[in-house]
Amino acid sequence: MLRLDAVTKTYRVGAFGGRTLTAVDGVSLDLVPGEVVSLIGESGSGKTTVGRMILGLTPVSGGSITLDGAPVRPGKDYYRQVQGVFQDPFSCYNPIFKVDRVLQMIREEYFPGTAGAQWEEKVAESLEAVRLAPALVLGKYPHQLSGGQLQRLLIARALLLGPRFLVADEITSMLDASTRIDVLNLLADLKSRGLGVLFVTHDLSLGNYVSERAVVLHRGRVVESGPTGLVFGNPLHPYTARLLDSVPRLTARWDGVPQEPVPDTPEPSVLVEAEPGHFVRRVPAPELRSVS
């Protein structure tokens, strides 16, 4: 299990680092194999930072991230188990090299002894899992492939390592609608193969489609979390409700009610279990059990 416990990220800003800016404020969440958790937030919510901290690309300022109870130490062993896919597939490839290089890097670092034929078989297997024909993508340069193909190839790259967890940060936001859904379906496939996926997104309809659990982040803090059906079907925090209300749908037009700004949850606030498994940030009431 990959567990985040009260993870915090602060940056020093201003002249001489005099002020601190809290990007992520006490975020706790669990990721278990065979489950997709969507981490939902708007720009500045800290959702990408959470993903980067899990991947060890950004150091943690406070709290802890543990894998099966042991503190995370980014390095080869860790990356064999926890992998990531990013938002911009075009920027993930070194433009001067062929796309095969992202796979080759894995081979050099993790499978130096593997024979050529065996490796090719392994690559073919991963490409198969992301439904890419090897002849279509291998030996090409990044600019010769579409965003969807590049993104699926990056997922195939991660699969070469047989990871247990995958952080997918806005992986569909640069893709067209007609290819986006295929990448989402792929995440669902991986989940059924036992992978735990953290699906970071700003798009609620995608989170709703693909995940079992949803965590809503607002200004670096979790404001609501729980099973996707409960969070989306019965939003308890005004911010979640507002987000859901703003999502354009094909089934209904927006009503004419003007939006009220969402007030900050008054302090001190904690995550409260409002119904089984469904947590919402509130000012604690004495009769409710606080968990954070």
- Cβ within 8 Å of residue 102, ≥6 positions away: 92, 93, 153, 154, 157
Least separation, in Å, of the C-beta of 247 and another protein? 5
Least separation, in Å, of the C-beta of 112 and another protein? 12
Q: Which of 16, 76, 33 is nearest to 195 (CA)?
A: 33
By CB under 8 A, residue 165 contacts another protein: no
Least separation, in Å, of the C-beta of 248 and another protein? 4
Binding piece for another protein, criterion CB under 8 A, among 22-30, 99-107, 264-272, 275-283: 99-107
Q: Which of 205, 251, 247, 245 is nearest to 228 (CA)?
A: 205
Distance, in Å, from the CA atom of 63 to the CA atom of 46, rounded to the nearest integer, reads 15
Binding piece for another protein, criterion CB under 8 A, among 20-28, 31-39, 199-207, 281-289: 199-207
Least separation, in Å, of the C-beta of 177 and another protein? 6
Nearer to another protein, 109 or 275 (CB): 109
By CB under 8 A, residue 217 contacts another protein: no
By CB under 8 A, residue 43 contacts another protein: yes
Nearer to another protein, 176 or 288 (CB): 176
Q: Is the peptide bond before 266 cis (omega within 30 degrees of 0)?
A: no
DSSP 218-273: ETTEEEEEEEHHHHHHS--SHHHHHHHHHS--SS-PPPSPPPPPPPPPPSS-EEEE
How many binding residues for another protein (CB under 8 A)?
A: 69
By CB under 8 A, residue 204 contacts another protein: yes
CA distances 292 to 3, 235, 269, Å, are 14, 19, 9
Nearer to another protein, 185 or 288 (CB): 185
Residue with tokens 């081979």: 107
Decide: 74 and 82 in contact? Cβ < 8 Å.
no
Residue 232 CB neighbours (<10 A): 22
Residue 76 CB neighbours (<10 A): 9
* Residue list 4-23, contact with another protein (CB under 8 A): none
Per DSSP, the three-state class of 146 is coil
Decide: 88 and 174 in contact? Cβ < 8 Å.
yes
* Residue list 53-92, contact with another protein (CB under 8 A): 55-57, 74-76, 79-80, 83-84, 86-88, 91-92
Distance, in Å, from the CA atom of 155 to the CA atom of 30, rounded to the nearest integer, reads 22
Residue with tokens 């509130």: 282
Least separation, in Å, of the C-beta of 254 and another protein? 5
Least separation, in Å, of the C-beta of 87 and another protein? 8
Query: Which sign does the torsion angle of CA 193, 191, 189, 147 carry?
Result: negative
Residue with tokens 């997918």: 168
Binding piece for another protein, criterion CB under 8 A, among 18-26, 229-237, 267-275, 284-292: 229-237
Binding piece for another protein, criterion CB under 8 A, among 15-23, 61-69, 101-109, 266-274: 101-109
Least separation, in Å, of the C-beta of 95 and another protein? 7
Q: Which residues bind another protein (CB under 8 A)?
A: 42-43, 55-57, 74-76, 79-80, 83-84, 86-88, 91-98, 101-102, 105-106, 109-110, 141, 143, 146, 148, 154, 157, 176-182, 184-185, 188, 202-206, 208-210, 229, 232-233, 242-251, 253-254, 259
